[in-house]
């Protein structure tokens, strides 16, 4: 049950995130692509991909702190 709740919580956080950040995060963390590969897939500069992943992590971290998501708060994002 806790695992299911955690999955739903993550899905809500990710769905609320702007696509410009969500897509690189998903490709990097869930699909396992390297930064250079993501840059090619999205037709972006490598530094742009790095910046979007960093900004996405920051937004996710902020959302987790604001939402008080106790099950996922301590995870390294």
Domain ranges, residue 45: 2-66
- At residue 21, the pLDDT reads 94
| CATH number of the domain to which 36 belongs | 1.10.10.10
Q: What is the pLDDT of residues 59-76, one digit of tens each?
A: 888 877 776 444 343 444
Q: For the chain, what is the domain count? A: 1
Please state, in angstroms and rounded to a whole number, the distance separating the CA atoms of residues 77 and 62. Answer: 11
Taking the whole predicted model, whether its pTM rises above 0.85 is answered as no
- At residue 8, the pLDDT reads 75
Q: Tell me the C-alpha to C-alpha distance, in Å, between residue 1 and each of 7, 33, 70, 71, 72.
A: 10, 30, 15, 12, 14
Per residue in 61-70, is it b (16+ CB within 10 Å) or e — as a string?
eeebeeeebe
Q: What is the pLDDT of residues 11-66, one digit of tens each?
A: 787 888 899 999 999 999 889 999 999 999 999 999 999 999 999 999 888 877 77
Task: Establish if 19 belongs to a structural domain.
Answer: yes
């Amino acid at each position: 049950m806790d695992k299911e709740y955690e999955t739903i919580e993550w899905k809500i956080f990710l769905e609320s995130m702007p696509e410009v950040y969500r897509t690189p995060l998903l490709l990097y963390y869930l699909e396992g692509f390297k930064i250079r590969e993501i840059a090619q897939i999205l037709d972006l500069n490598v530094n742009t991909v790095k910046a979007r992943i960093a900004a996405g992590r920051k937004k996710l971290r902020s959302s987790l702190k604001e939402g008080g998501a106790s099950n996922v708060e301590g995870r390294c994002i």
